[in-house]
Structure 1
């Protein structure tokens, strides 16, 4: 039994965008292996879409996290534009059935290939940019990446790095860590460490190693100063 051809209107509805030039969408969905692809595969649109995506995400981050330092914004950006995130968006669009592939690639399951899905998602963004301009492309990115924006897939930074960046941003010397207590036997020690940042209240952390205790102390100081919140960072 022949597979039912997917309805392009369903894809357009999931994208939330109507093309004036449907040939751009057709190009964005065409893999280089497709019959008669020629020079009209998605590769050039992917190149363009990658840059548009980066700009749109950077603008979203700048507005959404007004207090975040440059380092955090850069890590959030990297998390959102990486291949896995773009592929996740393509899967939400259910774009796989619409991708035009060569017979060999289609039979080997390349419609689920994460690299191809990620490339196609960027190509579609590039196509929308050419068809409707930056505002249309940005609106597509905002709709499609907003959930990923709220829930990063990878830790953005550890507490010690975050505290050092924050102190640097305040024009202060680096934090200092001091072991104030060590208890327990040698094979199972417990450390209590104090962290100081000039002009700020000290904070303490406990852990089964100095590293863990330092991270706990840094987290406590970040929470204490309101740099982090309990909702986002209260648990290690």
Structure 2
């Protein structure tokens, strides 16, 4: 039994009909040839549909705005990556030499993308049921721990600026480092009268979110 087949059976809970789908889902573009990117595109949509339905059923009295806040936190790249690490995914990701040297398998972007690619592979190999079963199992703790709809740091900072009667937060990328497949962004956010803060992230959006959270921590 190959490592990939054993992983699909033991960690994903699925008997693969077409193992090549899962091998592709684990293959980074740095290897050359087919990679996980198309499967990630599909898996992202499947994940979104399953999480949206789970939230719709679980919180029947919440308005759309609260459901959207919960949804955005649950399908976040960091959440996907955390769940991928929980099932021991990083060592199985196939990388080119430079990507291995850059430790791309530790990147939230890469691990999160592969999780979505595996969901896409499950959907193609067995239909919605095995994909949904995996998602609800891996996301069960996050779904259960959301006692109230989380406020995204950027939204919270924007609301605070509005309450103070000042202009909306200004975000500026001050540095970009790392390899193409594993970049690091540094972003500075500033709000008049409140101050400024900087933070890093694996994407511009992640760095902006971290910077907003840092500034909120300073002023609250």
- TM-score after normalising by structure 2: 0.64
Question: Displacement, 1:14?
Answer: 1.5
Distance 2:128 2:4 in 1: 26
> What CA deviation, in whole Å up to 9, does each residue of 1:60-119 have, x standing for no partner?
111111122111111111000011110011111111111110011112211111100000
- Give the match for residue 14 of structure 2: 17
1:142 to 136, 141, 164: 136
Match of residue 72, structure 1, among 66, 77, 80: 66
Query: Residue 151 of structure 1: CA displacement?
Result: 2.0
Q: Does structure 2 retain, via aligned residues, the 8 Å contact 1:11–1:95?
A: no
Q: How much is the aligned-residue C-alpha RMSD, in angstroms?
A: 2.3
Name structure 1 gaps, 5 residues minimum. 162-236
**Cα shift at 1:134:** 1.2
Superposition TM-score, scaled by structure 1 size:
0.60
Equivalent residue for 2:115?
121
Equivalent of 1:57 in 51, 56, 63: 51
Aligned-partner SS, 2:35: coil
Do 2:9 and 2:15's aligned partners in 1 also have CA atoms closer than 8 Å?
Answer: yes
**Count, aligned residues:** 152
Q: Which moved more, 1:144-153 or 1:60-69?
A: 144-153
Q: Give the unaligned 5+ runs of structure 2.
A: 156-220
Residue 33 of structure 1 aligns to a residue whose secondary structure is helix
CA 8–97 in structure 1, closer or farther in 2 if over 3 Å, else same: farther
Separation (CA, whole Å) in 2 of partners of 1:136 and 1:6: 20
Query: Which structure: larger Rg?
Result: 1
Distance 1:68 1:145, change over 3 A: same
Instruction: Give the secondary-structure state (helix, strand or coil) at the position aligned to 1:68.
Output: coil
